[in-house]
A = this chain, B = another copy of it.
Amino acid sequence: MKKTYAILGAGNGGQAIAGYISSLGYRVRLYDPMTEVVNKLNERGSIKLTGIYDSENKIELVSTDLKKVVKGADIVMVVNPSIYHRDMAINCAPFIEENQFIFLHPGGTFGAFAFKKGLEDGGCKFDVPIAESNTLIYACRAVEAGIVNVAGKKDRLLVATFPAANNEMVCNSLKEIYEEIEPASNVLVTSFDNTNPIFHPAPTLLSTSWVESDKDFLYYYEGISNSIGQFIIEMDKERIEVGKALGLEYGTDLISSFDQYELEYNCKGDNIMEVVRNVGAYEGIKGPNSLKTRYLYEDIPMGLVAIASLGDALGINVERIKLIISLGEKLLNEDFYTNSRNLKNLGLENMSSEEIFNFAITGQK
């Protein structure tokens, strides 16, 4: 019998994925906490994909009832901004079953650890594998509820599983739907491959007046100016040092943003401002119109705080990363630590780098 997928989150990505997996003949259930979205999807009765796909796809169940969606599914795929992962884990915890696995698509920075801790805190009885990808496979946008334009699909999706011993099973299963999946050795690799925390908060904050003006600006072409580019490359070095301190091998499992741009976009340059200006896909992307943006509200607490907390615990200099966290907190009047991916919420308190690395591999503390 074909597997059953529970997709948690009916945003752009969740709808696209639900439609696509259904088109392959799998059984799909879709959860969202927002009644309005769920009602609209149920009224429509199916999800239409356009763009690189062209199909109309039945979804077995669209519901605000997490229990009905999760129980009995084979794979629980979480397609949510990382700020919701912890609450989602706590809410899922009672319904997770022994033979399921979870796939955070994407995981953000240390998503698997955060989800694991959330399941524990929610009283989950089973030690299910938790996989995470480095990014969302699609560039997509729901034109209206149930009609999703999928503009593009990435060539490569890094996936690692916590604990790592389950990765082959998980990746083999997920490759049935996405052959683009490339197994990574552990969840530290996928986490450190997410450079959004480097490329989003600092340029946004250092463009505050432009963001809040009535004038548009090009996020990558103008927002990453010369000094900002130099600054974020120094932040990137702090990210790299934390990754190295955790045992990742530089050059393979952990690469610089320069190397990432060369690998993913075949773009090089003398400095990062030049590099991003060579990325065709960035050409028309505008900066946010408000500081209330996931570039800050997701990438600071879920990304920078995670890296900074680990950096501090391991004695790595993360002064620029911490500076940007503080600037965000003070400028937005927010506390970005308490409910964030701090060491407590990641379940990594009082652990050495070796213990964290082993935890990523074995799941055992």
Contacts and interface: CB of A to CB of B under 8 A. Distances in A.
A168 interface: no
Contact of A330 (B207, B224, B323): B323
Query: What is the oligomeric copy number?
Result: 2
Contacts of A226: 212
Interface stretch (A46-54, A86-94, A227-235, A243-251): A227-235
B323 A327 contact: yes
Question: What size tier do the contact residues of chain A reach?
Answer: 20 to 34
A331 interface: yes
Interface in A144-177: none
Interface string A205-216: 111111111010
A225 interface: yes
Contacts of A333: 230
A355 interface: no
Nearest to A329: B323
A269 to B, nearest CB: 16
Given A319-B330, A323-B330, A227 B212 contact: yes
A331 to B, nearest CB: 5
Nearest to A324: B327
A196 interface: no
Interface string A292-333: 000000000000000000000000000110010011001111
Contacts of A335: none
A210 B212 contact: no
A331 B208 contact: no
Interface in A259-279: none
Given A320-B330, A323-B327, A208 B234 contact: no
A50 to B, nearest CB: 35
Contact of A206 (B208, B217, B224): B208
Would you list the 4 A-B pairs with minimal beta carbon distance, nearest first?
A: A212-B225, A206-B208, A207-B209, A209-B225
